[in-house]
């Protein structure tokens, strides 16, 4: 053995020794493919609670990285963690864990277990940020947690079937989670909440998911705002929840026989305001909701602006803009238990003699045609036909078949800004 190579070995040994002492000294461990610590799992095992692990860029083929200490895992230069289809990749089982700056890919699929890129269970105060999760079954899976932040992550997958894809951000039985600025594309549900209390969901972008862009189940309190939901298989669903605040979101291009901008089912005491609904098949679908205030929304160019089932009671549609929707309101009952007041309807043809900005004759948003296609859907092909327009006008003057009590007493003459 030559002298230089001996020197090299010596250097290596010293470095390793130093590095082994380092965590104790500095609370910091560095993982890199050409360094002494080549595996994230190993680094996690070595780490003490409170230490920081920096992972240098490169491809790490690892899965089942079990984190049971409060540590901070930081990717430097977007290291890739490839799970090789072996299931869960990061498993977080300690409070106050941070995972940031990783590209996590390839969890593999399962019909039995919810394999996720990051699973966080029974902990509090986690931070998951700036990660790119690509081609996985579930993205970020949160169960039984308190507080915690998920922000600025990107989750994307490519399976087009509902059964074999998982949710992007899955929250189950979580308390006060904060979900900010994430992008979720091509999952089953973009963001899924079940038994979540007081969630704070904002500035997310959820698109092209196979089922819902956002799926809200049995989750009381909480709010979601300034999110954008586009081109999702079935739009956004909010079900069996009370006191939810939905505002300033953007619901766009959700098309299909069962696609809704916003589907409400068994919702009580909630607020929907300042949202924009653009080019959805049905902008707002409401079933068995009560005491929901829908105000100040901008509903434009949808197939149906509102589809409200007769078991929805005491909801108030106030001060919304309904602009050029193919049909305004659809309902399945001749009775009406909801209030429509002070909205702007672009289809309104009334007049305003006293010039107070409010039309002098009420507007009836359920047209005869809407009743006709409720009975004979194939008649939809006659939309915008002159004959239908004549029928509608006649019916508006003398309502016979449309709900007599469903009308807007004070339709606005001008668009509400």
Query: Facing residues of 247 across strands?
Result: 225, 273
Token readout for 152 is: 């600025």
Beta carbon nearer to other proteins, 48 or 349 = 349
Q: How far is the CB of 326 from other proteins (least distance, A)?
A: 4
Window 260 to 289, contacts with other proteins (CB under 8 A): 279-282
Q: How far is the CB of 367 from other proteins (least distance, A)?
A: 13
- Work out whether 119 is an interface residue with other proteins (CB under 8 A): no
d(CA 230, CA 234): 10
Select from 326, 337, 352, 374 the one that contacts other proteins (CB under 8 A): 326
- Work out whether 329 is an interface residue with other proteins (CB under 8 A): no
Helix axes 368-375, 386-397, angle to 10 degrees: 110
Q: How far is the CB of 263 from other proteins (least distance, A)?
A: 13
Residue environment code for 1-15, b if the CB has 16+ CB neighbours within 10 A, otherwise e:
eeeeeeeeeeeeeee
- Work out whether 371 is an interface residue with other proteins (CB under 8 A): no
Alpha-carbon Rg for the chain, nearest whole angstrom, is 27
- Work out whether 357 is an interface residue with other proteins (CB under 8 A): no
The beta-strand segments (E) located in 274-326 are 276-278, 282-287, 290-295, 298-300, 304-308, 316-318, 321-323
Select from 88, 304, 345, 407 the one that contacts other proteins (CB under 8 A): 304
- Work out whether 4 is an interface residue with other proteins (CB under 8 A): no
User: Is residue 80 helix, strand or coil?
Assistant: strand
- Work out whether 353 is an interface residue with other proteins (CB under 8 A): no
- Work out whether 255 is an interface residue with other proteins (CB under 8 A): yes
Q: Which helix (H) or strand (E) holds 415?
A: none
Beta carbon nearer to other proteins, 162 or 324 = 324
Q: Comparing C-alpha atoms, which of 324, 278, 274, 283 is closest to residue 306? A: 283
Beta carbon nearer to other proteins, 409 or 414 = 414
Interacting span for other proteins (CB under 8 A) from 31-39, 165-173, 185-193, 382-390 = 382-390
Select from 236, 327, 366, 406 the one that contacts other proteins (CB under 8 A): 327
Beta carbon nearer to other proteins, 212 or 304 = 304
| 30, 54 contact by CB (below 8 A) | yes
Select from 385, 393, 401, 404 the one that contacts other proteins (CB under 8 A): 385
Q: Comparing C-alpha atoms, which of 141, 130, 127 is closest to residue 91? A: 141
User: Is residue 281 helix, strand or coil?
Assistant: coil
Return the percent helix, strand and coil in the chain, to nearest 5: 15, 40, 45
Q: How far is the CB of 337 from other proteins (least distance, A)?
A: 24
Beta carbon nearer to other proteins, 127 or 382 = 382
d(CA 263, CA 234): 9
- Work out whether 400 is an interface residue with other proteins (CB under 8 A): no
Q: How far is the CB of 141 from other proteins (least distance, A)?
A: 32
| 136, 106 contact by CB (below 8 A) | yes
Beta carbon nearer to other proteins, 270 or 343 = 343
Question: Which residues are near other proteins by CB under 8 A?
Answer: 253, 255-259, 279-282, 301-304, 323-324, 326-327, 346, 372-373, 375-390, 415
């Amino acid at each position: 053995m030559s002298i230089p190579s001996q020197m090299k070995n010596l250097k290596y040994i010293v470095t390793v020794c130093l590095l082994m002492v380092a965590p104790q000294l500095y609370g910091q461990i560095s993982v890199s493919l050409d360094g002494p610590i080549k595996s994230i799992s190993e680094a996690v095992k070595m780490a003490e609670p409170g230490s920081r692990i920096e992972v240098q860029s490169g491809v790490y083929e690892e899965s089942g990285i079990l984190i049971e200490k409060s540590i901070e895992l930081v990717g430097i230069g977007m290291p890739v963690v490839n799970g090789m289809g072996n299931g869960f990749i990061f498993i977080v089982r300690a409070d106050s864990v941070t995972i940031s700056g990783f590209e996590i890919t390839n969890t593999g699929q399962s019909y039995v277990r919810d394999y996720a890129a990051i699973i966080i269970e029974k902990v509090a105060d986690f931070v998951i940020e700036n990660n790119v999760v690509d081609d996985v079954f579930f993205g970020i899976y949160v169960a039984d947690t308190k507080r915690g932040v998920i922000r600025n992550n990107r989750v994307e997958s490519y399976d087009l079937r509902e059964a074999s894809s998982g949710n992007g951000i899955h929250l189950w039985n979580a308390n006060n989670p904060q979900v900010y600025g994430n992008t979720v594309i091509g999952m089953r549900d973009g963001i899924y909440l079940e038994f979540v209390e007081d969630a704070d969901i904002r500035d997310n972008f959820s698109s092209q998911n196979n089922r819902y862009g956002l799926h809200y189940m049995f989750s009381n309190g909480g709010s979601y705002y300034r999110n954008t939901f586009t081109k999702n298989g079935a739009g956004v669903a909010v079900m069996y929840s009370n006191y939810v605040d939905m505002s300033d979101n953007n619901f766009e291009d959700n098309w299909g026989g069962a696609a809704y901008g916003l589907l409400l089912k068994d919702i009580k005491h909630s607020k929907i305001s300042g949202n924009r609904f653009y080019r959805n098949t049905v902008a707002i679908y409401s079933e068995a909701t009560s005491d929901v205030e829908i105000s100040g929304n901008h509903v434009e160019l949808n197939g149906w602006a509102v589809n409200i089932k007769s078991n929805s009671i005491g909801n108030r549609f106030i001060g919304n803009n309904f602009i050029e929707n193919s049909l305004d309101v659809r309902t399945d009952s001749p009775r009406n238990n909801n209030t429509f007041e002070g909205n702007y309807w672009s289809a309104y043809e009334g007049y305003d003699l006293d010039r107070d900005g409010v039309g002098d004759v009420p507007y009836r948003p359920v047209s005869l045609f809407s009743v006709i296609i409720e009975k004979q859907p194939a008649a939809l092909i006659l939309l915008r036909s002159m004959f239908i327009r004549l029928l509608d006008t006649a019916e508006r003057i003398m309502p016979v078949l449309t709900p007599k009590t469903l009308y807007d007493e004070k339709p606005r003459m001008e668009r509400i800004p």
